[in-house]
Amino acid sequence: MRILQISALPVWPIAGKGGMPSLRETLRGHVRGGHEITLIVPRYDLFADRLVELTTPADAGFDVYYAGCSWMPAMKALRRVARAMGKGGELPYALRWVLNLTTWCLLTASLTAVALKLRYRRRRRFDLVYAHNQYAAIAGWIMGKALGVPNVTRLYGTFLADLIRLPLVSLRYPVAAGGFRVPSSLIICGNDGTRGDEVAKRMGIDPRRFRFWQNGVDLPSARPTEDRQEMSSRAPTNLRTDSKWIFTCSRLSYWKRIDRIIKGLAVARASGCDAQLIIAGDGAEQAALQSLAGRLGVAEEVVWLGGVAHDDIWSWMHVADVFVIANDVTNRCNPLYEAICAALPIVSVRDPSTADLLGDGENARLIERDDTEALGVAMAELCADGELARRMRENQKARAAGLWSWRQRLDVELVELDRLVEKA
pLDDT, tens digit, for every residue of 181-225? 999 999 999 998 889 999 999 999 999 999 999 999 887 777 888
pLDDT of residue 16: 45
Residue pair 375/365 in contact by the 8 Å Cβ criterion: no
Q: Is the pLDDT of residue 343 over 80?
A: yes
Helix and strand tally (H, E) in the chain? 15, 13
The CATH number of domain 228-401 is 3.40.50.2000: yes
| CB atoms near residue 159 (< 10 Å) | 15
Contact predicate 9/46, CB 8 Å: yes
Q: Do domains 2-216+405-423 and 228-401 have the same CATH topology?
A: yes
Is-above-0.75 flag for pTM? yes
Asked whether the beta carbons of 43 and 67 are under 8 A apart, the reply is yes
Q: Report whether pLDDT(88) > 80.
A: no
Is it the case that residue 267 has pLDDT exceeding 90?
yes
- Position 318, amino acid: H
- CA separation for the pair 140, 80 (Å, rounded): 29
* Residue 158, helix vs strand vs coil: coil
What is the chain's alpha carbon radius of gyration, rounded to the nearest angstrom? 22
| Nearest partner of 302 among 292, 317, 310, judged by Cα | 292
Structure confidence at residue 10 as a pLDDT band (50, 70, 90)? confident
CB atoms inside a 10 Å sphere around CB 342: 23
**Distance separating alpha carbons of residues 316 and 243, to the nearest angstrom:** 14
Q: Tell me which residue of 11, 23, 411, 408 sits closest to 216, measured CA to CA.
A: 408
Ranges of each domain in the chain: 2-216+405-423, 228-401
Q: Which CATH architecture has domain 2-216+405-423?
A: 3-Layer(aba) Sandwich (3.40)
d(CA 312, CA 318): 10
Confidence of residue 307 (pLDDT cuts 50, 70, 90): confident
CA gap 194, 161 in Å, rounded: 7
Q: 170: helix, coil or strand?
A: helix
The one-letter amino acid code at 188 reads I
